[in-house]
Amino acid sequence: MSGEKTIYKIGITHGDLNGISYEVILKALADNKILDICTPIVYGLSKVAGYYKKNMQMQDFSFQYIKNAGQASLKKANLINLSETEVPVNMGESTPVAGKYAEMALSYACNDLKNKTIDAIVTAPINKNNIQSEQFHFPGHTEYLASAFGAENPLMMMISPAVKLAFVTNHVAIENVAKTISKELIIKKLQVLNQSLVKDFGCTNPKIAVLSLNPHAGDKGLIGKEEENVIIPAIREAFDQKIYAFGPYPADGLFGSGNYSKFDAVLAMYHDQGMIPFKILADREGVNYTAGLPIVRTSPAHGTGYDIAGKNIADEQSLRSAIYLAIDILRNRLQE
């Protein structure tokens, strides 16, 4: 093998234009060191980018405006302009226009992924309400991308130097969690998680901690029967498949004791059970990754940030980490 590194083309969708997306994108791409490891291609709006650039007084930064990914300059941050139309910017507000252009960016980027004109996608945060349309009728990016790329069992993962977390259920109301989880679903998630740890993160014989659903892991059925009837049988069957899953562990005990660090990943039963400790542990470094897809997609581990939009105080580190992680996963997949 030659010592030359591949410079990957990383597509970045602009997300909700009224949030902090443009601020964190501009801040991250203003660091020229990023051009040493990738060619960034933003799917966005040139006039909106200019508006935010002026608001942030970033006169020294400029995009290379291109019509398609094939025109991308290796020495500059690139932007594919989705429309020449004058698009209103309403910082901190949810608007139908913002939803329309968030979906458009995703659609363009997915087409380029399918055509292999970009190598991976980093998605800036969307508003899951205003993006809903005939083209987008999903709870979030994970489900949209699974549909676009024919993946039957996508897995939402949260990645940081401190911990890797995955979820059996994603955006499911608490009242529906217990009836959504099943032995079969947990096994499927463990299979995808185990494969991703090996293929995407270079783990050998990964160890996975599985969280319980009920307090105290159900206390042998006293505080709920899901552990005895669903989770433990799933762990045993997964172990028979040479997936080294252990538990179920009460979430408070596993994270409070620090024992999560003894595992390569943790599988949570529902969103907040895993997301709360993750965000505390990850600090600014958290990244959302969708495992189980034929393509590589990462995202910063924060939302639209309407409350701080336009104040020039948003932290770009999570987006930067998402770009780096996408590149790391692309490289790890080449090692197979």
Q: How far is CA 182 from CA 19, 136, 242, in A?
A: 37, 27, 20
The token pair that represents 203 in the structure block: 């783990």
Task: Give the residue among 286, 247, 250, 285 at the shortest CA–CA distance from 157.
Answer: 286
Name the DSSP class of 179. Answer: H
User: Tens of pLDDT along 21-47?
Assistant: 999 999 999 998 999 999 999 999 999
Which pLDDT does position 139 carry in this prediction?
85
pLDDT bracket for residue 140 (50, 70, 90): confident
State in Å, rounded, how far the first CA of the chain is from the last one: 14
The pLDDT of 174-196, averaged and rounded, is: 97
pLDDT computed for residue 310 by the predictor: 93
Total-model pTM: 0.93
Helices first, then strands: H and E counts in the chain: 11, 12
Separation of CA 135 from chain center: 20
Annotate 187-209 with DSSP letters as a single string: HHHHHHHHHHHHHTT--SS-EEE
Q: Is 241 exposed, middle or buried (0-12, 13-18, 19+ CB in 10 A)?
A: exposed
pLDDT tens string 146-172: 999 999 999 999 999 999 999 999 889
> How is domain 161-282 classified at the architecture level of CATH?
3-Layer(aba) Sandwich (3.40)
Q: Encoding tokens for residue 81?
A: 């302009």
Is 74 in contact with 36 (CB distance < 8 Å)?
no
The whole-angstrom separation of Cα 270 and Cα 177 is 7
For 47-69, the pLDDT digits (tens) are 999 999 999 999 889 999 999 99
Residue 183 scores a pLDDT above 90: yes
Residue 4 is predicted with a pLDDT of: 59
pLDDT tens sequence across 292-318? 999 999 999 999 999 999 999 999 999
Distance, in Å, from the CA atom of 288 to the CA atom of 160, rounded to the nearest integer, reads 9
pLDDT for 217: 87
Number of other residues whose CB lies within 10 A of the CB of residue 134? 6
Listed residue (324, 241, 224) closest to 12, CA to CA: 324
3-state secondary structure of 256: helix
Q: What is the pLDDT of residue 32?
A: 87
Per-residue pLDDT tens digits for 241-281: 999 999 999 999 999 999 999 999 999 999 999 999 999 99
Ranges of CATH 3.40.718.10 domains, the chain: 1-151+290-336, 161-282
Is the preceding omega at residue 248 within 30 degrees of 0, hence cis? yes
Residue 3 pLDDT: 47
CB count in 10 Å sphere of residue 184: 11
Domain 1-151+290-336: CATH superfamily, name plus number: Isopropylmalate Dehydrogenase (3.40.718.10)
**Looking at residue 1, what is its pLDDT?**
37
